[in-house]
Amino acid sequence: MRRLRPLLIARGEQGSIRRGHGDLHLGNIAVLEDEPVAFGALEFDPIIASGDLLYDLAFLLMDLLEFDRHAAANQVLNGYYAAARRDADCDGIAALPFFMSLRAAIRAMTTGSRLDVTKDATAQSAPLKLLAPAKPTVLGIGGLSGTGKTVLARSLAPSLAPAPGALVFRSDVERKVLYGIGEHERLPSASYRAEVSEQVYRIVIDKATRVARAGHSAIVDAVFARAEERAAAEAAAAAAGVEFRGLFLVADLATRLQRVTGRAVDASDADAEVVRKQEGLVTGAVTWSRVDAVGSPEQTLANARAAITG
């Protein structure tokens, strides 16, 4: 609490402390007509009901982790960050383990009031487990369009410490944010000029390293075709004092064409013409671990994990 106090004060000044206590554990969320509906909000005291926005989110994340739904917790975290679009939360994530541990302590207290949990090691250790220091990592995932970067990033994210896993920053999404449009709207070709792409790479790399500097892991999902782009990601992580790992996915043209033309609604604007043009890209010497991405998503995930641990 002493370490985080300056951050929490700054978040209050930024408007990130508000009245909005939703008591968002799973027992207070129902699915009605295919939509999640929260209830049980604390309404009788505006002071008690006020807090950091990430503290409200922490209750749901902690509850999902308690039910061993790590992938769902990571999906909620990434979905929240993508929807909120608050850059300050890249620094604010430093408080998330503290917030989750407080929520876990509340869970332990309420459970203990109903049951004898004096011998329940899980209930006693959960709050401290969430506070255990973890070594953050910045993971760069590159590869031409259709190699499966985004599927792999989402699959790897839940397993990167600390809980509930890595935040994923995708260049395709950040480019749409830059132009103020929805991620499934299509951009004109002028939006892919070299100077725009350079700006997009600066944004995703900066967000990832800010998150890692705050003690949380991050993944950058982008083509990373140019050596300068890969070097920039490595240099930013080194400057932040965090570990960097780079994966470069490879797949043949036929496989990439099949995947891109078979996509449903997606943030990527890449089509068959883009995929064919990328065949002429000069990637230079790729020092990142090359990952065979021709097979199924499960096989690519296995290959990526082997490259990370190898």
Bridge partners (DSSP) of residue 100 are none
Q: Examine the domain organization and report whether 122 and 213 are in the same domain.
A: no
Residue 119 has pLDDT above 70, yes or no: no
Q: Which of 111, 131, 151 is the last residue of a domain?
A: 131
Residue 248 has pLDDT above 70, yes or no: yes
What does the pLDDT read at residue 107? 81
Q: Examine the domain organization and report whether 147 and 283 are in the same domain.
A: yes
Question: Which residue did the predictor score with more confidence, 111 or 275?
Answer: 275
Number of compact structural domains in the chain: 2
* CATH number of the domain that residue 299 is part of: 3.40.50.300
Q: Examine the domain organization and report whether 67 and 205 are in the same domain.
A: no
The Cα–Cα gap between 64 and 70 comes to 7
Residue 174 has pLDDT above 90, yes or no: yes
Give pairs for 155-159: CB < 8 Å, separation 24+: 155/297, 155/301, 156/219, 156/301, 156/304, 156/305, 157/74, 157/78, 157/219, 158/70, 158/71, 158/73, 158/74, 159/70
Residue 134 has pLDDT above 90, yes or no: no
The Cα–Cα gap between 293 and 142 comes to 11
Sheet with 243-250: strands ordered across? 167-170, 218-221, 137-143, 243-250, 289-292
Each residue of 33-81: pLDDT tens digit?
A: 999 888 877 778 888 888 999 999 999 999 999 899 999 999 999 999 9
What does the pLDDT read at residue 22? 67
Q: Examine the domain organization and report whether 293 and 155 are in the same domain.
A: yes
Plot region of 271 (φ>0 → left; ψ -120 to 50 → alpha; else → beta) = beta
Q: Examine the domain organization and report whether 201 and 271 are in the same domain.
A: yes
Query: The pTM is what?
Result: 0.93
Task: Show the domain range for 58.
Answer: 5-131
Each residue of 141-161: pLDDT tens digit?
A: 999 999 999 999 999 999 999
For the chain, give the percent of residues with pLDDT over 90. 76
CA Rg, the chain, in Å? 21
Q: Examine the domain organization and report whether 123 and 144 are in the same domain.
A: no
Instruction: Please name which of 158, 143, 130, 133 lies closest in space to residue 305, comparing C-alpha atoms.
Output: 158
By three-state DSSP, how is residue 140 classified? strand
Q: Find the mean pLDDT for residues 90-118.
A: 84
Plot region of 40 (φ>0 → left; ψ -120 to 50 → alpha; else → beta) = left
Q: Examine the domain organization and report whether 201 and 296 are in the same domain.
A: yes
State both tokens at 291. Answer: 């990952």
Residue 116 has pLDDT above 90, yes or no: no
DSSP letter string, 176-231: HHHTT--TTSPPPGGGG-HHHHHHHHHHHHHHHHHHHHTT--EEEES---SHHHHH
What does the pLDDT read at residue 81? 97
Q: Examine the domain organization and report whether 47 and 82 are in the same domain.
A: yes
What does the pLDDT read at residue 36? 87
Residue 125 has pLDDT above 70, yes or no: no
For the chain, give the percent of residues with pLDDT over 70. 95
Question: Which residue did the predictor score with more confidence, 141 or 25?
Answer: 141
